[in-house]
Amino acid sequence: MASVWAPSSSTICAAAASSKSRCYSSSSSSLPCCSGSSGFPVKTSPFLGAFALPLSMSRPFVLSGSLVVVNTQQSFRVRSENKDKGKGKGKPVVPLDQRWMFEEHELNGPDIWNKTWYPKAADHINTDKPWYIVDATDKILGRLASTIAIHIRGKDLPTYTPSVDMGAFVIVVNAEKVAVSGKKRTQKLYRRHSGRPGGMKVETFDQLQRRIPERIIEHAVRGMLPKGRLGRALFNHLKVYKGPDHPHEAQKPVELPIRDKRIQKEK
């Protein structure tokens, strides 16, 4: 078996004296082997084959064969990262192992990959939401309404939360030119009631389109939104107008992205 060189106790004592450290030899008692040093209680460990310091020892030590060298000049303190930075302060940032997926200006935003992330009030302010515009000319009513409802609810966003208003505003123009498939122009019925006995009113699609064309799209989109307080708030994001004009030029709306290839009625 190859021999392993180990420094003698006198060599390490001299090194400890030069570095102002204490050394403890296994051949001696619990007192330090260097003369003039103050003793420190140690215990023998049958597993390590050397003297081990008490668990309450807060100074760094080095195990070398049968010798324990304690540095008296260095001290360290372990702090958790949360205590150093302040736990819960500031916005959550993107983890280090995921930063390659983002641009430099996006690193300080919300961590959308964290499963516990929940939108705060500052994440869904109406003044910061985008505005879209869509022309309803010759577009199938149901497919147009479902596309609008998706963007109003915010389902196209990675930050979508079912219980929070995360969607955008949608402007619909040329509502009187919306199309339906099959024989729905004469067979689709719209009912309303005045609240009095015998006050039921029934209209076909054609009749309502000639009278109030905006109500057709509003009725279709409302049925695809949640029922309750959130649904009523989301419905206010829909702006339907007859004709090509609308009063929302200041919001600078952009074209609504449509992925449904069958939304346009074939002529």
**Is 188 part of a structural domain of the chain?**
yes
**Is 69 part of a structural domain of the chain?**
no
**Is 148 part of a structural domain of the chain?**
yes
**Cβ–Cβ < 8 Å for 254, 130:** yes
Residue 47 reports pLDDT greater than 90: no
> Residues of 203-228 as b/e, b for ≥16 C-beta within 10 angstroms?
bebeebbeeebbbbbbebbbebbeee
Residue 45 reports pLDDT greater than 70: no
- Domain extent for 238: 129-255
* pLDDT tier, 38 (very low <50, low <70, confident <90, very high otherwise): very low
Q: What is the pLDDT of residue 93?
A: 64
**Is 149 part of a structural domain of the chain?**
yes
- What are the pLDDT digits (tens) for 101-158? 777 666 666 556 666 778 988 889 999 999 999 999 999 999 999 999 999 999 999 9
Split into its structural domains, the chain has a count of: 1
Please tell me which of 54-68, 94-108, 114-128, 163-177 the model is most confident about, judged by mean pLDDT.
Answer: 163-177
**Is 113 part of a structural domain of the chain?**
no
**Is 50 part of a structural domain of the chain?**
no
* pLDDT above 90 as % of the chain: 52
Query: What is the average pLDDT value for the chain, to the nearest integer?
Result: 76
**Is 169 part of a structural domain of the chain?**
yes
Domain at 199, CATH number: 3.90.1180.10
**Is 12 part of a structural domain of the chain?**
no
- What are the pLDDT digits (tens) for 222-250? 999 999 999 999 999 999 999 999 999 99
